[in-house]
Amino acid sequence: LLMPLCVSLFRLKDLEVAKLGDSDVRVKMLAAPINPADINMIQGTYAILSPLPTVGGNEGVGEVLEVGRHVAALKPGDWVIPAVTGLGTWRTQGVFPEETLLKVPSDIPVLCAATLSVNPCTAYRMLADFETLVPGDSIIQNAANSGVGQAVIQIAKASGIKTINVVRDRPDLPKLVERLLALGADHVITEEMLRKPEMKDIFKSIPKPRLALNCVGGKSTTEMLRHLQPKGTMVTYGGMAKQPVMVPVSAFIFRDVRLRGFWMTQWKKEHAQDQESLTSMMEALCQLIRRGLLTAPACTEVPLQDYKAALEAAMKPFTSSKQILLL
């Protein structure tokens, strides 16, 4: 029911571009993805809701066309991505205050830049901020084929960290397993396998994970938690099953596991005065992209006028390809 309703809320309209203020930047948008959070905002189930009518899209990349006379850090030709949530990136052009934009290098592929500010940043922070991981350590994650999941696999691989990647069983499972292994996954298993005795075989070659990344909730989480080391941490950053996180009491008492949450928007808010942490993360990610160690997630490029088809595809189950609007 939500799917047709969601799509019917959108119109493609021609609007006047706002006048350029002294601290504003006029941007020609190049490409913008459709993320689960964008869909949740449309459905009214996200923590941030824009006053209506509004332009959809929280992520994307654009080229600076013109800057106001007080703008110092940006110039025409620069590439920019949103520094804040709710910018409204599903448009061909926009005028934005300078502080809502972040300059990115224009020598990285456009799809990498368009998908840089949410998923890779989320993956980077979760790997860095909760447990001190060293080469040889392992992590476990569900929804491993999601945009964040794919970034986690590649960033972990570049740091020498082993990954156990959990995906839902599906018709094209062998193809998906092959794709994740090609990205650098060490193990790819289905949710059903989490319960099986064969899991012990995995831990013959790698240590039990100190960190679990949860984007699903429900049974998947409980099963994943069984394999976490004592005093390990599980970080929840999504809830695709729309079910609560269930934790056996024994996991708390006898293994002292920690449960944490992560939301990139909140991290950006908390670090708004700490530009250094944001720029050093972006530099590290762009460096990985340049070295071919971090690629854009599997993408389907869709012209803006076909936005309805793109929205519908983004809401289908088992999609392993991110819809990217070409603007």
Is residue 203 within 8 A of residue 164, CB to CB? The reply is no
Question: What six digits make up the tokens of 182?
Answer: 């090609």
Q: Catalytic annotation on 46?
A: yes
Element (H or E) spanning 229, and its range?
none
Question: What six digits make up the tokens of 77?
Answer: 């030709």
For 135-155, give one letter per residue: b (16+ CB within 10 A) or e.
eebbbbbbbbbbbbbbbbbbb
**What stretches of the chain show up as alpha helix (H) in DSSP?**
2-8, 36-43, 110-114, 119-129, 147-158, 173-183, 199-205, 219-225, 249-253, 264-270, 275-290, 307-314
At residue 190's C-alpha, the angle toward residues 179 and 144, to 5°, is 50
Question: What six digits make up the tokens of 38?
Answer: 């964008």
Is residue 2 within 8 A of residue 43, CB to CB? The reply is yes
* Residues known to be catalytic: 46
